[in-house]
Amino acid sequence: MAKILVQERSRIVLASAVTLAVLLSAGIAALSATAAPKTTAPGIVHYVPVVVTDSSLKIQRDAYTVSVGKAFGVKQVYPRGVVIRFVFHNEGKLPHTVRLKLLSHHYFGENEAKLTVIYAGMTPIKAQQTRSLSINFYYRGSFALQTLTGKKITGSEGITIL
C-alpha cells in the first residue's frame, strides 16, 4: 500500500512539474516577444511647435532641448526611431519655405530614398499660416531645420538624433 502511495505522489509531482515547465516557457516566450527592442519602429508621435518669423526660426523648448553653451545656443536631441510632427506657424509678414537638411554623412541603402533635404510642402508658408511636416528619424545623424526667404537662409536650428 505504501509503495502505491509513493508511486501516485511521484506521478502528481511529475505532472505538476511538467505543467509548471509549460507555463513558464509560455510566459518567458510572451515576455521576450513584448520586450524585444524596437529602436527604429515608429512609436508615439511627438508634436514640436516651431515659430517662424521674418528673421528667425525657433523650435519650442521641450524635454529634448539641451543647452550646449553660449557659443552654440540650444539644440534639440531626440532618440533614434522617434516620429516627430513639426508644426510650423509663420508669424512673419513674408512667406517662408521650411526645410530639413541632413548635415552628417549617411550611407543610403538600396531601398532608401537618397534625400538629404526635405521641404515642408511644395510652396512657401504664407504669413499667419500653419503647416506640418512628419518625419520618422530612423537613423542617427545631425540635421538643420531651416527657413528660407527666397533663396536666403533666414533661420536655422540644429537637431541631433542619437
Residue boundaries of the structural domains of the chain: 1-36, 45-161
pLDDT at residue 19 above 50? no
Instruction: Please name the fold of domain 45-161.
Output: Immunoglobulin-like (2.60.40)
> Does the predicted TM-score (pTM) go above 0.85?
no
User: Which whole number is the average pLDDT over 60-82?
Assistant: 77
pLDDT mean over 36-46: 62
Mean predicted lDDT score pLDDT of the chain = 78
For residue 1, the model assigns a pLDDT of: 53
Helices (H), the chain: 2-34
Residue 83 contacts by C-beta under 8 Å, 6 or more apart in sequence? 42, 43, 44, 45, 46, 134, 135, 136, 137
Separation of alpha carbons 45 and 63, rounded Å:
14
Which residue's C-alpha cell is 521650411?
Answer: 98
- Note whether 45 and 143 are within 8 A (CB): no
